[in-house]
Amino acid sequence: MTHALTVDAGPGIRDLRAADHLLHALAAELDLPDGAFGCTHLVRDDRPRVVLSFAFPSEPLLGLARERLTAGGHAVSPGLPDAVGRAVLYPGVAALTGTVTVAEALARSAIDRVTVLGGGDPAPKARLVTREHVRPLWQDGRLVLSAMPAVGGTLVPFEVPDPTPCCADH
């Protein structure tokens, strides 16, 4: 998508949960239209952090978002920071709740493909327990959800909604 911008919230956003929270807050302020995407991107330079990107279906929406974000004090730059963002907001994400089949997930959302870790592509009728946390990644211009086998022959998205922080028990 060519109508995109990057929001760098600075060193304060260093984990995906905080980035997701900020992305949702900014998306609500922007009143994102259908067809818009909101992604997180890991930046591994001299100040590691997570930046956000928004992609819009039209140039006027991009301009309005840039104005609003800049007015809100956010550092905004044109384009995407990389080609491998983690999609948090995308067309159809609201329909991915509860348990859906792989075919339903593909039909209801912008996800192009579902893969199973260590097992290729699942059957269209395979059940996906979404946990209301479906974060596909951009891979070669396609939105791909990685899933893993779970209880009862179901699948779950690889990324868990509430990960245990490293060293949480000490």
Structure confidence by residue, pLDDT tens digits, 41-91: 998 888 888 999 999 988 888 889 999 999 988 999 999 999 999 999 999
Residue 12 has pLDDT above 80, yes or no: no
Relative orientation angle of helices 16-30 and 59-71, to the nearest 10 degrees: 110
Structure tokens that stand for 119 in this block: 């097992």
pLDDT for res 123: 96
How many Å apart are CA 18 and CA 16, to the nearest integer?
Answer: 5
Give the pLDDT score at 170: 45
Q: Smallest Cα–Cα separation from 39: which of 25, 21, 53?
A: 53
Question: Residues 25-44: what's their mean pLDDT?
Answer: 92
Strands 155-157 and 142-149, sheet pairing? antiparallel
- CA 86 to CA 159: how far, in whole Å? 11
Identify the pLDDT of residue 1. Answer: 53
Give the number of other Cβ atoms within 10 Å of residue 20's Cβ: 21
- Stretch (H or E) spanning 28: helix 16-30
